[in-house]
Structure 1
Amino acid sequence: MDAPLAVTRVTHSCLLIEIGGLTLLTDPWFSERTAYHPGEPIAFGVADLPDLDAVLISHHHYDHCDLEAFASYRDKDVPMLVAAPVVERARRAGFREVRALYPWESTRLGAHAGRAGRTDGTGDGASGGSFRLEDLTVTAVPARHKVYEVTFVVQGGGQTVYFAGDTLLVPELQELAGRFPHIDLLLVPTNGLRLRPLFNRQVVMSAQEAATLTSWLRPRVAVPHHYAYSSGPVGDRLITKADRDPQNYVRAARVAAPGTEVRVIAPGERLTV
């Protein structure tokens, strides 16, 4: 039996993706600071994470790259595929296997010691010995945010996932449909975050723009993220402006891409695709 494709929401854009019997973590965020609040529970802490086969980090903003908290993760040899400005930060946090991926660059991950799905096919259960870690391909995708960012397509076990970080809707994303014509799971930001001090500059795609992306890609399943974030009572009035209701995306996507199943999942909830 093939391993399931599944996603578990930790909080915000921090997600666990299970693909081909392997587990990846995206954009780790496990703490809070002044003006940085998930706006929803953090489902579990770093110590409670499962054994990870890789970590993907789209950019260096704290709410996507909480390396101070994630530095307590038990395995410093976990492969990390990151936007270029994250490399030295991750190494300073003690992680040894860190690599930058640039837009449209792909890599096939090598076997990670101590995890199931070894290259010799003798995995201890999570992959049933039928899937090898070097069969997992990760491709960086162009993005645009307030700072340099890349997003990621993950392929393995005959399944494809696109994790859109918190990018704006940019023309380069139209290339995804041609390069990856069958996407099983889309993980897409939806809050249309704007920065009030910068004349309401938009830095994240909106619910309607996320629906447009969904219409371009036509995934089997789409899950919104990056919507509950709050900069606090004062910050929400003076610094940021955002749409915190994921149902706005649900409604827009059902019109724009009626063939896609749209699901909102709570922190700690696991969705099998």
Structure 2
Amino acid sequence: MHGLAMRFLGHSTVRMELAGRVVLTDPVLTSRIGPLRRVGPLPAPGDHADVDLVLISHLHGDHLHLPSLRMLGDVRIVVPRGAGAWLRSKGFAHVEELAPGETLKDGDLRITGVHAQHSGHRWGPRLTHGPQTRAMGHLISGDGATVYASGDTDLFDSMSFLGDLGIDVALLPVWGWGPNLGHGHLDPHRAAEAVARLRPRFAVPVHWGTFAVGGSHLLPKLRRRMRRVLVEPPRTFAEEVAVRELGTTVILVEPGERVPLPVTT
């Protein structure tokens, strides 16, 4: 695809080069997030040294990760509307807000916020104190290509409307970091249904194979479960999309790998 290059850095972090800009989605660049330990490779410094724009889908600590944002320097950070003042209070100066239905530009890139079916509270859906915003996804368009970065989400009705807009690449979560999934997430089967609604040319499974609960290797039953969920979800997703004959090509890459998109002229 002419003008678009991508690398899956792990979890929901994707480096995207499009329309002369470098974008990072939900950057997590460290070896740990609290009790979670990285089991895939650390992103190389060159993967985030020249970033122009950071897109944050929601406030959970594995998507808005303060230590990783500090590694990026004075970069433009786009957060869900209502989170700007909180993030600025943490020492970040170049913060802008975006809500579903709103659009901003960065050079020749056009970023549109879209709905996500997920909790937007910093500490989880059961708490009422602390930062609270709507979770969201992003449509990133430029040079004739459109990428949908869903962030964490479950299925929602207007996914079919997004498909009507024409999506070249969909970055879709297929699991998480634990042995089980909570509400507001896509598993491999629901992610395949998302493909049916979105109808992208290509789908890249993300949000898998990167983090595990620290100490899980000490419990045999949990260790076996984690071995499966660190490997199987994107493969099950690809198989489901193929069986349903949806016309979308799944590009499965391991954390740290370049996404081999076709080059068109």
TM-score by length of 1: 0.77
Question: Which one of 231, 242, 262 corresponds to residue 213 of structure 2?
Answer: 231
Superposed CA deviations along residues 100-137 of structure 1, whole A, max 9, x for unmatched, are: 1111111122xxxxxxxxxxxxxxxxxxxxxxx1x211
1:161 deviates by 0.1
- Three-state SS of the structure 2 residue aligned to 1:267 is coil
Mapped partners of 1:193, 1:44: distance in 2: 21
1:217 is aligned to 198
Mapped partners of 1:164, 1:257: distance in 2: 22
Question: Which one of 112, 119, 144 corresponds to residue 146 of structure 1?
Answer: 119
- Letter matched to residue 145 of structure 2: Q
- Letter matched to residue 4 of structure 2: L
1:184 deviates by 1.0
Mapped partners of 1:95, 1:13: distance in 2: 21
Superposed CA deviations along residues 6-65 of structure 1, whole A, max 9, x for unmatched, are: 2101111111011122210010112213432343222224x7523112110001111111
- Three-state SS of the structure 2 residue aligned to 1:95 is coil
2:128 is aligned to none
1:112 is aligned to none
1:52 is aligned to 51
The structure, 1 or 2, with the larger RCO (C-alpha pairs under 8 Å, 6+ apart) is: 2
1:174 is aligned to 160
Contact 2:3–2:143 (CA<8 Å) still a contact in 1? no
Contact 2:80–2:97 (CA<8 Å) still a contact in 1? yes
1:231 deviates by 2.2
- Letter matched to residue 49 of structure 1: H
Mapped partners of 2:100, 2:245: distance in 1: 26
Q: How does 1:152-163 map to 2 (within 5 A)?
A: 152-163=138-149
RMSD: 2.8
2:39 is aligned to 39
1:192 deviates by 6.7
Superposed CA deviations along residues 209-256 of structure 1, whole A, max 9, x for unmatched, are: 11111112221211101112322344995xx99943210111111223
- Three-state SS of the structure 2 residue aligned to 1:37 is strand
1:85 deviates by 5.0
Q: How does 1:81-92 map to 2 (within 5 A)?
A: 81-92=78-89
- 2:104 aligned with 1:107, yes or no? yes
Question: Which one of 245, 250, 253 corresponds to residue 265 of structure 1?
Answer: 253
Unaligned 5+ segments in structure 2 are 121-133
% identical aligned pairs: 31
1:143 deviates by 0.6
Q: How does 1:51-130 map to 2 (within 5 A)?
A: 51-74=50-73, 76=74, 78-109=75-106
- Letter matched to residue 248 of structure 2: T
2:23 is aligned to 24
- Three-state SS of the structure 2 residue aligned to 1:249 is helix
Contact 1:136–1:154 (CA<8 Å) still a contact in 2? yes
- Three-state SS of the structure 1 residue aligned to 2:91 is coil
2:109 is aligned to 136
1:272 deviates by 4.1
- Three-state SS of the structure 2 residue aligned to 1:202 is coil
1:22–1:71 CA distance, 2 compared to 1 (3 A): same
- Three-state SS of the structure 2 residue aligned to 1:230 is strand
- Three-state SS of the structure 1 residue aligned to 2:85 is helix
The number of equivalent residue pairs is 239
Unaligned 5+ segments in structure 1 are 110-132
